[in-house]
A and B are shown apart, each in its own frame.
Chain A
Amino acid sequence: MAKDLVNTLADLKEKEALGIVQERLSAGEDPLRILDDARRGVEIVGKRFSDEEYFIPDLVYSGEILKQITDMVKPKLTKAAEVKRLGKVIVGTVAGDIHDIGKDIVVFMLDVNGFEVFDLGIDVPVQKFVDKIKETGSGVVGLSGFLTLAFQSMKDTVGAIEKAGLRNEVKIMIGGGQIDDQVRSFTGADAYGKDAMDAVKLAKGWIGG
């Protein structure tokens, strides 16, 4: 049974997956176990995406199914077992750049995978990142940028976080079409990710338990 949900979700069979969840809930199964299986299904989707078997819309589709499952499961949870957020992540497109779609996908996938996400939007001034870290105590910051000019903004943002004495409090990841390890090293970020699943993996590795 447990295996079914994992694979059905991994195969992106929306109706069937939701049907299985309904059955398992009606049978009085532990909602957290159901959610855990659903998350494992999305992990397989991520793997298939990395293997180029799936493409971005498939990944986002799996996130939408996971979100529906979370919404179905939530009311059945006791107060004590409430869906725990894995940790807080701040995400924004850096100053000077206005590309939003890649960042929006990252925000969505982090959210459905259990993080509390603070989306600062596009063209975000460095100080806004600093202020948000202070305000929320987030452990991870994700910087997005698609233009070459974003590299300098990312470096400036990392610098401002350092100057504010917060560099040891946060892990910083960067991403966007042109980002690679050379850019990461230039900006002083801790890691870079090629896609939204990388963002989830990195955040989980740092603060996701």
Chain B
Amino acid sequence: MPVIRDIPISLKTKEVLRRVGFREQASLRPEIKSLIDELLAGAKNDFLLEPAIAYGIYPLTEMNRGRLPLEDNGVIHDPLLPSLLSGADEFAVVICTIGHRLEKQVTNYFKQDEPLRGVLLDGIGSAAVDLLAEEACKLMTERASSRGYQAGSPISPGMQGLPITEQRWLFKMAPAQKIGVGLTSSGVMSPLKSTSMIIGIGPQMKTWTRAEVCAQCGLRKTCPYRKGVKGEKQKRGKISKKSPIVHPC
């Protein structure tokens, strides 16, 4: 089960802004913009981002009525899986993290009475996880296409239909401990800035954009972090062929 490190993460201010709930109608204060730039540079110089991906690929032998049988006699339950993974011959289990360092620095900022820095750096961390998840999806797409296959868009525990508790199965199928990711008894990953996904691989796979996932989410009306708020509205509701990206948050 492979592990990948040294993944280049280069973030733009815009991506960070989404993660700190920037609103379309708001104007960006120059002090905040320059603080984001400073923190982005600092994250790089101080090596606060330690991106790593762990994954495993398995044949999809049998799948019916929302059950995905796994090795070890485990079963993932999700009523939506058959439709989301339809056409898949294989599936990848992927876990990504940016490590603990950034989170620790966020905590330090709050302790040192610098919460603005804390909030912005936290946003940088979440945006970095997004980018890492996209990189992981691209990697799966490349691997798949080298064999004439396609990779579908990812499905993450915690999304509608796939409870967070199912996370425990994913942890048996990707070497999470090798990249320092642990699972609490309630199914939360530590470091917090981590994400997990299942990706279908087959001759023809469905893909969807983050804006489409947001459009399905119960929080879509109120979530300040939703995608598709600015410049992406036109994409909502359509299935996009080109983009493999997605994370549920």
Contacts and interface: CB of A to CB of B under 8 A. Distances in A.
B31 A14 contact: yes
Nearest to B32: A57
B156 to A, nearest CB: 13
A54 B184 contact: no
Contact of A55 (B20, B31, B187): B20
A207 interface: no
Contacts of A108: 110, 115
A123 B118 CA distance: 20
Nearest to A11: B29
A104 B187 contact: no
Interface in A59-105: 60-61, 63-64, 67, 96-101, 104-105
Interface residues of A, number: 30
B187 A149 contact: yes
A56 interface: yes
Nearest to A149: B186
Contacts of A135: none
A64 to B, nearest CB: 6
Given A55-B224, A56-B119, A104-B115, A61 B23 contact: no
B218 A147 contact: no
Nearest to B123: A57
Contact of A96 (B106, B186, B218): B186
Scoring A63, A101, A177 by chain B CB atoms within 10 A of each residue's CB, the highest score goes to: A101
Contact of A105 (B114, B115, B185, B224): B115
B165 to A, nearest CB: 8
B6 interface: no
A98 B119 contact: no
A67 B113 contact: yes
Interface in A136-153: 147-149
Given A147-B164, A194-B222, A53 B26 contact: yes
Interface in A107-152: 108, 123, 147-149
B107 to A, nearest CB: 8
A178 B158 CA distance: 12
A175 B113 CA distance: 23
Contacts of B107: 100
Sorted nearest first, the 3 A-B pairs with minimum C-beta distance are: A96-B186, A52-B23, A101-B122
21 contacts: A12-B31, A14-B31, A54-B26, A55-B23, A56-B224, A58-B26, A58-B29, A60-B115, A61-B29, A61-B116, A64-B113, A64-B114, A96-B185, A97-B186, A98-B184, A98-B188, A100-B107, A101-B118, A104-B110, A105-B115, A123-B184
Interface of B: 20-23, 25-26, 29, 31-32, 106-107, 110, 113-116, 118-120, 122, 158, 164, 184-188, 190, 192, 218-219, 222-224
